[in-house]
Amino acid sequence: MSITQTDLTRINTFIFDVDGVLTDGLLYCFADGEQVRAFNIKDGFAIKHAISQGFRVAIISGKNEPGVRRRLEQLGIEDIFLGIEDKVETMEDYLYMQGVNPATVAYMGDDMPDYEVMQRCGLRACPADAAEDIKAISTFVSTKNGGRGAVRELIETIMKGQDNW
């Protein structure tokens, strides 16, 4: 599948997974139990820019780490759903409460927990290193790996397609 101009112009909401999308999927575990992930600064800039231009940005992730929440809040993301087992229900509830049509949502995921929720969105996106089943249903496959600018590439592509990058 490939992205069309119609895909680009109708998007007003971005929803992202965290591990493997905003991060490279590596998890560093320390003796004290702390778990650390690395986020890409360029992805962060693009998220902040999208929010400043009126796009909605939400996070739906199965993991729930305080450090991740702090980073997402620093980027200005208000709609953060961590520790989620049912991503479909969470997304549908969020879209209903915000009055957002699923056809106007770009969702970026990387692995099987994202499969069902991605199929309910207008634009399905994934990093270059996503699972093969996720790539197969994606409208947009980034040239970048997760945590290495995939989010920036998606946001920039959509915003440039709308002439507001």
pLDDT band at 78 (very low <50, low <70, confident <90, very high): very high
Render pLDDT for 21-63 as a digit per residue (tens, 0 to 9): 999 988 888 898 888 899 999 999 999 999 999 999 999 999 9
Q: In this structure, which amino acid lies at residue 91?
A: M
Render pLDDT for 138-164 as a digit per residue (tens, 0 to 9): 999 999 999 999 999 999 999 999 999
Instruction: Give the integer Cα–Cα distance in Å for 136 and 85.
Output: 23
Instruction: Give the integer Cα–Cα distance in Å for 31 and 29.
Output: 7
Domains contained in the chain, CATH given: 5-161 (3.40.50.1000)
Does the pLDDT of residue 113 top 60, yes or no? Answer: yes
Q: In this structure, which amino acid lies at residue 84?
A: I
Which pLDDT score, from 0 to 100, does residue 5 have? 66
Which pLDDT score, from 0 to 100, does residue 10 have? 94
Does the pLDDT of residue 1 top 60, yes or no? Answer: no
The answer to whether the predicted template modeling score (pTM) of the entire model surpasses 0.85 is: yes
Instruction: Give the integer Cα–Cα distance in Å for 24 and 145.
Output: 7
Does the pLDDT of residue 118 top 80, yes or no? Answer: yes
Mean pLDDT of 110-136: 97
Does the pLDDT of residue 95 top 70, yes or no? Answer: yes
Which pLDDT score, from 0 to 100, does residue 2 have? 65
Which pLDDT score, from 0 to 100, does residue 145 have? 98
Instruction: Give the integer Cα–Cα distance in Å for 45 and 96.
Output: 28
pLDDT, averaged across the chain: 94
| Contact in structure between 34 and 78 (CB atoms under 8 Å) | no
